[in-house]
Amino acid sequence: MIFEFNFNPIKHNPIKAKQYAQYFTNIKIATFMVDMLNNINFNKQKILKILDAGAGEGILGIQAVIKCIEMGYKNIHITFYEIDEEMIPLIQRHLDDLKKLVSDKSVKLNIKIISADFVLSRPNEKYNVIIINPPYFKYSVKESQYSNATSDLFKGNPNIYASFMAVCIASLAKEGTLVSITPRSFTNGLYFKGFRKFIYDNVNFEHIHIFKSRDKVFKDSQVLQECIICKVVKTLQKDKIIISSSNSDIDLEDSEYNSYNNNLIIDKSNDLRMLHIPETKKDFEILIRANLLKSTFEQSGYFISTGPVVEHRVREFIIEGKFKVDKQYVPLIRPHNIRFMQVDLDINERKDAYFLYDNNSIKHLLKNKTYILLKRFSTKDEKKRLIAAVLSAEYLDSSYIGVGNKLNYIGIKNDELSSKEAVGLSAVFNSKFMDDYFRCFSGNTQVNASEIRIMKFPGRETVKQIGIELKDKEITQKNIDYVVMKNLFKDER
C-alpha cells in the first residue's frame, strides 16, 4: 500500500469470543484480503459503497477504503456493522486517524457505523465491495432467533458464518465483490448443500486461498478450523478459478498460485455440488485422475451408513470392559478397534466394551456379516483421514454385532461382501491416492457418508481384482498403494 495505517493488535478475549464469536483479523490477513480487490469493476466517477459486516475494530473495512483510494476512487461510502458496543469507540478512533491520513487526497469519505446484529437487521441497500471476517458458531434451529433469519435465501441453518455470507451476497450490487475469510466447512457435505446452491445461483468464484494449517491462522484464539479466503463476484462465471495456498498467515507473501478450470473445482456431477480445493498442482492432478474413474462409490453398488449405537442414548445396554464370549452380550466395536486393514477386539484396552443382546436392544445392533468399518473422525495424531478395516463375519461367533456411531459401516446393496472384495474395498480406502483425493474436497477431520457416496470410485470387478492380488502379498502401505494404483489406472500403463 502507498500509505500505511497502524493498528494495535487486540488480544483475544475468551469471554467476548464466547459471547460474540469474536475472532480478530490480523494485519497480514487483512492486507492479503484487500489485495484481492485489485481488479474490481466499478466506475471511478461514481460513489463506491463498501460494507464491513462484523467489523470488530474495523481493520478490514479501513484497509479496503485505503486500497480503493489507491486505485483512484474519490467518493467512498463505508458502512460498518458491529454488535459489540465496546468496539464502536475503537472503530471511531481508527476512522478519525483514517480521515487525517487521507485529508490531502481529495477524497470524499462518507462513514456509517451501525451497532446492531447484521444478520437480524439485514441491510436494505446494495454494496459494490463487501469484506468480512464473520463470527463462527452453530445454533439451534428450533430455539435460536437466527433459525429463520435467512430462510428466504437458502434452505437450512448450518452456521452463523454462512448466514453472514448469504446476507452479504444478497446485499451485493451488480458486478459487486465479496471477500471473506471463513471455515472451509461450507464447501462440502450435506449440511451446507442449500447454502452452496444459493452461492452458485447468485455469485461466482474468482479466487480461493486455502491455509494448509488448521491451528495457526487464528492461533491466539485456539481456533482449530481449516480456513479459506474467498473472492466471489456478481458476474458470469469465468472459465478459470485462481487457487492459492500458504501454510498460515506467516508465509502469505510466498503463496503458491495456480489457475484451474472451474468445472473441476465446482463438482456439477451430483446435486451436492461440492467445491474441490487443490492445495497444490499435485492435488489438482489427483482430481484429474480421480475423474478418470467411470463410477462413484454408490454407483458401484456399495452402501455406507453410520453405526447405529449412539452410546449416550443406550447406556443401559453397554458394559465397559474386555469382551468375553457370552450369549447375553455381543461386542461393541469402537474407533480404537480399527487397526490397519483389520478390526482388532483383542487389544486389552480400557476402551473395550460389550453390548446387551435381548429383545429391547436388538434394534441397535447389526446382523453379523462382513463389513468394512471406516472411521468417521481422525485424531490429530493420525496422518490419514480415511482409515478402514475389514470386519469378517467369521471373526466373531455371534449373530449380531454392535457398531458405534463414530464409525461408518460399508457393504453391498442386496448382496454380501466376499473376503477378496472386502480386502480390495478396504485397500482402496486405505490407499494414499484415495486419501489425497478425499482431502481435495473435505476440509474436515470428519468422514461423512454423504461425501463417500459421491466419491469417484472403481467398479466392483476392479475392487475384487485388488483383493485377489493383495491376498498373495504382505499387507503393507507400499503394497496397497502399488496394487490399487496399478488397477485403478491400468489403461495409463
Q: Would you state the pLDDT for residue 223?
A: 47
First CA to last CA across the chain, in angstroms? Answer: 51
CA distance 170 to 122: 9
- Residues of the chain with confidence (pLDDT) below 70: 1-22, 157, 214-225, 325, 379-381, 491-493
CA distance 84 to 479: 57
Nearest alpha carbon to residue 232 among 210, 256, 264, 204:
204
> Are the beta carbons of 26 and 9 closer than 8 angstroms?
yes
CB atoms within 10 A of CB 5: 17
Query: Interhelix angle for 419-430 vs 432-439, to 10°?
Result: 50
> Are the beta carbons of 353 and 423 closer than 8 angstroms?
no
Q: Would you state the pLDDT for residue 14?
A: 59
CA atoms within 13 A on the CB side of 154: 27
> Are the beta carbons of 366 and 393 closer than 8 angstroms?
no
Contacts of 316 (CB under 8 A, 6+ apart): 356
> pTM to 2 decimals?
0.87
User: What are the two backbone dihedrals, phi and then psi, of residue 55, each rounded to the nearest 5 degrees?
Assistant: -75, -25
> Are the beta carbons of 255 and 244 closer than 8 angstroms?
yes
> Are the beta carbons of 308 and 403 closer than 8 angstroms?
yes
- Pairing verdict, β 240-246 and 256-261: antiparallel
What are the chain's domains? 14-279 (3.40.50.150), 302-487 (3.90.220)
Q: Which residue has the cell 446435486?
A: 271
* H or E element at residue 175: strand 172-183
Q: Would you state the pLDDT for residue 6?
A: 66
DSSP for residue 10: P
Which residues on adjacent β-strands are paired with residue 151? Answer: none
409-441 pLDDT per residue, tens: 999 998 999 999 999 999 999 999 999 999 888
The alpha carbon of 459 is separated from its chain's Cα centroid by a whole number of angstroms, namely 28
SS3 content of the chain, % helix, strand, coil (to 5): 35, 25, 45
Nearest alpha carbon to residue 203 among 153, 278, 255:
153
Q: Would you state the pLDDT for residue 145?
A: 84
Q: Which residue has the cell 500458504?
A: 246
> Are the beta carbons of 406 and 463 closer than 8 angstroms?
no
Residues in the chain, overall count:
493
Q: Would you state the pLDDT for residue 222?
A: 47
The helix/strand/coil state of 288 is helix
Nearest alpha carbon to residue 355 among 332, 334, 339, 382:
332
